[in-house]
Amino acid sequence: MSGRAVLHADLNNFYASVEILHHPKLYGRPVAVGGNAELRHGIILSKNYEAKAFGIQVGQALWQAKQKCPGLIIVPPDYDKYLRYSRLFRGILMDYSDQVESFGLDENWVDVTASRTAFGSGEAIAGRIRERVKFELGVTVSIGVSFNKIFAKLGSDLRKPDATTVITQDNYRDVVWPLPASDLLGVGRNTQVKLSYYGIETIGDIARAGPATLEKLFGKWGLFLYTYASGLDISPVKPTGYEAAVKSVGNSTTCPRDLENERDAQIVFLNLAESVAERMRDLGLMAKTVQISLRTNELEWCERQMTLPQASMVAPELAGAAMQLLRKHYSWKKPLRSIGIRGTNLIPIDSARQISIFDDEAKRERTERLEYAIDDIRRRFGHRAIGRALLALDDRLGNLDAKADNIIHPIGYL
């Protein structure tokens, strides 16, 4: 393959594969990793091929999955374990290039253009990576090899598990264009419906529609779709260590029971703020604005935000602002089913601060040092090695499996 050589490496059924590796008795049986139905986090997060044969899909409710496969074994997620495997996976990829860009825990793009003189063709490097992942991690990976990121990702989806698919400038019209439009990165459900309405069913149809028609239908995003489908994408694989600008850091959760009063909300907000603040400190950022999201048990939803007196990455300060917003904007006429907190308008931690004569700056500095000390204890001994007393008032609300929603621009995940 001349020109660029870009790989997209996608670990197969990642969460489920890791769990089966750690529990060999599950091998050959239908297995899914899913949330806790009792905590109302009851969806499928990952499944193995035996479960897929029954029609089990990611995002499906647990009760629906059980209807399709009564013998389905559902394992709770263990994110610490998945993060460890994700880091090991990236370590293998970085042996072949310093341009490794994450697209979630289990997917990475790798630009091996400059590595071919040392390790062989892109396809040969993909084969080396597949063998190492099997031998060193005990799981499998599918890899797409192409001349751009979009087609490399398509390639990794085409053949699973443990396969390499090569898409070149010579064969992409035969390999890619017959595929459904929904297979193209950037074509979500609503876009697919609109494309189908205009008779655009395949990726080839998108390319043949032309940039003018697609821009008319979708605005600037239509031009991206044309570029992607036509093999014209030239976006680089970002170097290892590059981080796209983080626009906000947040957590939200569907609560194990409806929240009936301020004390309930205070416990959950502090729980969520703990992880939000910790991630901001890891990123070297602090928030000037706090935003909350509220959803009632009748699924009514709203968001509110406020500017902080001083930018913060301290959990109690973020939670305190969330409670101010709640008291101001919510009357408790209905219980709350889910809530979220997000830090936005982020700035570097070492940014200059406006000091107020009414604030005890020495106390604030001690509080921040305490937060870093807590981070260090948790890194060494686990997240539950130390906690705040308020969270112990309710075991269910104080120990939530919250959903992180770091928002990054452009496409990508932390």
Give me the residues paired with residue 202 across strands: 180
8 Å CB contact between 314 and 299: no
Q: Distance between CA 151 and CA 158 in Å, rounded? A: 10
Instruction: Tell me whether residue 107 is one of the annotated catalytic residues.
Output: yes
Phi-psi domain of 194 (left: phi exceeds 0; alpha: psi -120 through 50; beta: other): alpha
Report helix angle 220-229 to 211-218, nearest 10: 140
Residue 204's φ and ψ, nearest 5 degrees, are: -60, -35
The structure tokens 């496409």 sit at 411
Q: Distance between CA 222 and CA 191 in Å, rounded? A: 10
Both ends of the chain: CA-CA distance in Å?
31
Q: Distance between CA 145 and CA 164 in Å, rounded? A: 7
The structure tokens 């090695």 sit at 385
Q: Distance between CA 165 and CA 144 in Å, rounded? A: 5
Q: What is the DSSP string of 4-55?
A: --EEEEEETTHHHHHHHHH-GGGTTS-EEEE--GGGT--BEEEE-HHHHTTT
Give me the residues paired with residue 142 across strands: 10
8 Å CB contact between 230 and 224: no
Q: Which of 50, 107, 274, 278 is catalytic?
A: 107
User: CA–CA distance from 24 to each of 31, 46, 175, 228 (Å)?
Assistant: 12, 17, 37, 41
**Parallel, antiparallel, or unpaired: how do β-strands 245-259 and 407-409 relate?**
antiparallel
> Containing H/E element for 400?
none
- Strand residue runs (E) in 118-269: 141-146, 164-166, 245-259
**Amino acid letter, residue 73:** I
Catalytic residues: 107
